[in-house]
Every structure is written in structure tokens, then in C-alpha cells.
Amino acid sequence: MSSTDSEAVEAAADRNDEQVDGDGRPHGRAGESASADGGQLGAIPRFDVTLRIRRYSAEDAEDGKPAEARWQEFTVTVNGTDRVLDALHKIKWEQDGSLTFRRSCAHGVCGSDAMRINGVNRLACKVLVKDVNPDKPITVEPIKGLPVEKDLVVDMEPFFQSYREVMPFLITSGHEPTRERKQSQEERARFDDTTKCILCAACTSSCPVFWTDGQYFGPAAIVNAHRFIFDSRDEGADVRLEVLNDREGVWRCRTTFNCSEACPRGIQVTKAIHEVKRALLTRSV
């Protein structure tokens, strides 16, 4: 799939140990080249950046008082090619091993490291430090609306609960065909956008309605319902639409577009929700 390919290219370009600059010319390790001759052509600039991180640990509780979140600043030297995730790694490995965050693939595919960087939901592995104004301290906070477990790690269970409730799997009746279930290119294109979801929760935790009480199904659950509702091979559309007709379902969407802007995969989330609303209004897919 083309989106996967572009993802891989982006990820490679983001890697800080890549010893090829924008023009494809090889050079030495970024740090060495810059410090050795102070600005060799094509050298990767190095600079200091301050990260202002929202810290929380239940273990900080004192005398029966619950623990409170606090801000802590760290200053690290990063390469111009470093991502926010690399800066977090540097802090964890070199300054404070207790800093806690999730990350797995670190290349924008697994969706583990969604966090709030300078006030907006991003994947830490897809944001270059140089792109978020490193002149000022970069604030890093956990995503909103989900219970914080420690530092940047939140309890994703409410999020996955909603995901499970929309039944994100193929529902069919009758005999399983001996060959593949056929689908035209037009039929496939209807839900192409919503197949890209990596369940990072950047959209759901950017939604002002979700922040209020966490009961709203949230954009991600609706996106994943959309993926099957508009799949011509699936027969469970009515059931899923009924689930999303709930008082906590699609009708709580207030079209703030925070979700569409937060999605690291560029899914047009608000548009997908809009299509589900229309399907519910007309009771036809």
C-alpha cells in the first residue's frame, strides 16, 4: 500500500543515525563533524533544547495526600535531525531514568507514543525537535482525558473499550467462500482513509467532548466503525450504526476538527464521522 511506503521513507529520513544529509551526500557522525571543524558543508547542526515535561507518579503521595503532577525541565543537546522522541530517550538514558513514556516501533507505525507536544497531540517519533521551535522550552504532556498512570503514560483502557464496542472485525453470514471475498476498486476506496488508523488515541484525546466525561465513544472508535460500515464485504453495518446511535455516539460530535488535525496518519476523521452520521440519518450505507 502506498501509504505504508511513504511512511517508511519518512521514518528513514527521521532517523538521527542516518549518515546521509538532505542531498544524499554522506558525512561523518553528526556531532563529530560539527564540533571538529565548526560547520562543514552539509553538517547536521547541534543545539541545546529544553523540554518542559509534565511529571506524575502515584508514589509521590505524602501523608495520605494524593500525588500531584508537576513540571520538570531538562536541557539536552540534540542533532538537527533528532525527533522529540530522541530527546526523551536522551533524558531517560542520560539524566533521569525514572522518566516514563511509551514507545515501541519509534517510526510512526505502532501508535504508542502519542503525547501532547507544545499543546497539541502528536506522535513523539514523527516530530522533529527543530520543527517545534526549540528556542523556547518544548512542553511535553500526556494526552488529555485518559487517566494518567505515570508521567506520559495514560491508561488506554477506556479508549480500547470503545474500540471493542464498535466490533472492529468482519461480520458475515452464510458459508465462507472458497476463494477471496471480491471487491471492486471503487468499493475499496470508500473506506480506504479509515484503514490507516494505528489506534494511537491522538484523535480521541484531542476531542473536547471526550475530555469532559470520557463517555463519548470518540473519533477513533467511529473511524474504526466506519472502516467496516462502508466495507461492501461486511454485513454488520446495521449493528454498528445502532451502537453509534447511542447517546454517547456520533451525535456528540461537535465538529471541532481537533481530531482531523491531530491524526498522525492524516485521516480525515471529521469527514468519516460525517459519513457515519449521514448513514444513520438515511439508514443506508
Q: Compute the least distance from the CB of residue 218 to another protein, in Å.
A: 11
Which positions from 214 to 253 touch another protein by CB under 8 A, shown as an x/- string? xx--------------------------xx-xxxxx-xx-
Q: Compute the least distance from the CB of residue 247 to another protein, in Å.
A: 5
Q: Is residue 192 within the footprint of another protein (CB under 8 A)? A: no
Give Cα separations from 32 to 27, 29, 50, 81, 203 (angstroms): 10, 6, 22, 14, 40
In angstroms, how far is CA 166 from the centroid of its own chain? 20
Q: Is residue 94 within the footprint of another protein (CB under 8 A)? A: no
Q: Is residue 172 within the footprint of another protein (CB under 8 A)? A: no
Q: Is residue 120 within the footprint of another protein (CB under 8 A)? A: yes
Residues 170/206, Cβ–Cβ less than 8 Å = no
Enumerate the H helices of the chain as residue ranges.
2-14, 30-37, 84-90, 157-165, 185-189, 208-213, 219-229, 237-244, 258-262, 269-282
Residues 81/45, Cβ–Cβ less than 8 Å = no
Which positions from 149 to 168 touch another protein by CB under 8 A, shown as an x/- string? ------x-xx--xx--x---
Give Cα separations from 231 to 36, 143, 200 (angstroms): 58, 31, 22
Residues 126/80, Cβ–Cβ less than 8 Å = no
Instruction: Give the type of residue at 6.
Output: S
Q: Is residue 258 within the footprint of another protein (CB under 8 A)? A: yes
Q: Is residue 139 within the footprint of another protein (CB under 8 A)? A: yes
- Using CB under 8 A, which residues numbered 259 to 278 contact another protein? 260-261, 268, 270-271, 274, 277
Residue the block writes with cell 501532547? 116
Size of the site for another protein (CB under 8 A): 56
Residues that bind another protein (CB under 8 A): 54, 56, 58, 66, 68-69, 71, 116, 118-120, 139, 141-142, 144-148, 155, 157-158, 161-162, 165, 206, 208-209, 211-215, 242-243, 245-249, 251-252, 254-258, 260-261, 268, 270-271, 274, 277, 280-281
